[in-house]
Amino acid sequence: MFQEYLTELTPSNFLCPRNGPPPVELAGDGRFILRRKNFVPAYICAFESGILQQRAAEAIEALRSCRVCPRNCNIDRFNNKIGVCKSGRLARVASAFPHFGEEDCLRGWNGSGTIFFGWCNLRCMFCQNFETSQFGEGAEVNASELAGIMLDLQEIGCHNINFVTPEHVVSQILEALIIAIDRGLRLPIVYNTSAYDSLESIRWMR
């Protein structure tokens, strides 16, 4: 099943048709150069067609019996029941700032607009961010507040929005993304995952 899904993942799945043909780099050749003024994030097309809103609604509904990650806890996070990731209805944000420790292509000269989420579904014993992932550092934010954080990072010149440890809060990210787009978010999004994601949540983000 996973193999079948991988065959669906081509560069054109992630690029807005308005951008024209995929950059040669995505086909494994040359450099990835796309002028900012010509770049339209694929999420804008999904938003304009209404698909993003549908997927966000589906993702939030899925919290009622949570299978957002492969733990498949099936608990009602919509009503704040807690599973392995210890997260309820709202996402927890530990920190948000222009990150200059990321790779050059992400940090550029103004930093990558990083949002670190509290708690984690993977629970690695030797996590380097254990205060965030295991002790739940940070504060809960609603969708409007999370959208505001994205827009603040855009406002100060970050080159992208970089969600770190987002697997367990994909539903909340999608919910907030709709608000952020409506208020003017246009930056590329980096999904900085530990890769313990469910196929379902990856499909919501296509």
List contacts with ligand SF4 (CB under 6 A): 66-69, 71-73, 75, 77, 83-85, 87, 121, 168
Q: What are the structure tokens assigned to 76, written together?
A: 């009602």
If the CB atoms of residues 162 and 198 are measured against ligand SF4, the closer one turns out to be: 198
Strand 139-141, strand 91-99: pairing? antiparallel
If the CB atoms of residues 71 and 99 are measured against ligand SF4, the closer one turns out to be: 71
Q: Which residues neighbour 182 within 8 Å (Cβ) at sequence distance 6 or greater? A: none
Between the CA of residue 185 and those of 99, 115, 152, 188, 203, what are the distances in Å?
19, 15, 10, 9, 22
CB of 164 to ligand SF4, least distance (A): 16
Beta bridge partners of 10: none
Measured in degrees and rounded to the nearest 5, phi and psi for residue 178 equal -60, -40
Give the CB-nearest residue to ligand SF4. 83
If the CB atoms of residues 46 and 69 are measured against ligand SF4, the closer one turns out to be: 69
If the CB atoms of residues 47 and 119 are measured against ligand SF4, the closer one turns out to be: 119
Handedness of CA 5, 186, 161, 170 (dihedral sign): negative
- Looking from the CA of 55 toward its CB, the CA atoms found within 13 Å total 22
CB of 75 to ligand SF4, least distance (A): 6
CB of 97 to ligand SF4, least distance (A): 25
CB of 170 to ligand SF4, least distance (A): 8
CB of 150 to ligand SF4, least distance (A): 21
If the CB atoms of residues 75 and 187 are measured against ligand SF4, the closer one turns out to be: 75
